[in-house]
Amino acid sequence: MATMERTSDTVVPGPAVVGATVVPRWEWRAFERTFAAPPPVEGATGSQVAGEREETYLLSLLSPHNVKIRDGQLEIKRLVRADASGLEQWCPLLKRPFPIGVDALTAACEAWGLPAPADGRPIRSLAELLQTVVVPHRQLRIVTMAKRRIPVTVAGCHGERGQITVAGHRWNTVSFEDADPARVLAALRELKLDPAANENYPRALKRILGLPDHSSVPPKEVRC
């Protein structure tokens, strides 16, 4: 499977920013069937442990960016760059409930690496988005999963332990994120986790499902 080539401060293409300016965050995540030494849970109580909920990822085989449906809303995150250590900087681009307008649909299509529909009309529901936009494109895939999350804090960096069920199989995941990459790296050092083992959701789902990944592209300067 092709993967995104990592070089120092590699920048990958992404869609134009939609909405207010946001602070990009550096992220690290790993997926395994079992972790030998999962991170400790700092002060977790029953109220802090998130219950299971369903999320739907709308994967593009052409793009590394993240488009999904959560709590009835379209969410888009753009992969801005990967640094030499293996961390990735992500920019939350859009979170919009249905119906969605032309700007949100255009942002999703750009994130998928596809042209926006020519008719330029709003999309009234998730069902309409799937039927008229996603399903007709052979480069797009619909992946629905169940997720459970537990918040963790290590070396002052917030993250989570989680479990996903996709295609009938369970996977465990650990992640950390912060606007300051040094905090993420400090958490990984404390837990003896390899920064280069970073694997984001779109890439991991393609691997788990055996999908081709054509998202390796020449670097191109973009702004969040």
Question: What share of the chain in percent tops pLDDT 90?
Answer: 70
- The fold for domain 10-16+27-209 equals Hypothetical Protein Pfu-838710-001 (2.40.320)
**How much is the pLDDT for 39?**
63
Cα–Cα distance, 56 to 69 (Å, whole number):
5
pTM of the model: 0.83
Determine the pLDDT at residue 118: 83
Percent of the residues in the chain that have a pLDDT greater than 70, as a whole number: 79
- For residue 30, pLDDT beyond 50: yes
pLDDT at 14: 36
- Copy the structure tokens of residue 4: 């995104």
Supply the pLDDT for residue 33: 81
What local confidence, expressed as pLDDT, does residue 157 receive? 95
pLDDT value for 120: 78
Look at residue 75 in the predicted model and tell me its pLDDT: 98
Q: What is the pLDDT of residue 37?
A: 58
> What is the arithmetic mean of pLDDT over 176-195?
96
Domain coordinates in residue numbering, the chain: 10-16+27-209
**Nearest alpha-carbon partner for 219 in 93, 79, 107, 104:** 79
pLDDT over 70 (residue 217)? no
In the predicted structure, residue 1 carries a pLDDT above the cut 70: no
Q: pLDDT digits over 96-128, tens only? A: 999 999 999 999 999 999 998 888 789 999 999
The pLDDT tens digits of the residues spanning 33-70 come to: 876 555 665 554 444 556 678 999 999 999 999 999 99
Task: Map tokens 């369970």 to a residue.
Answer: 170
Q: How confident is the model at residue 22 (pLDDT cuts 50, 70, 90)?
A: confident
- In this prediction, residue 95 carries a pLDDT of 96
pLDDT at 222: 53
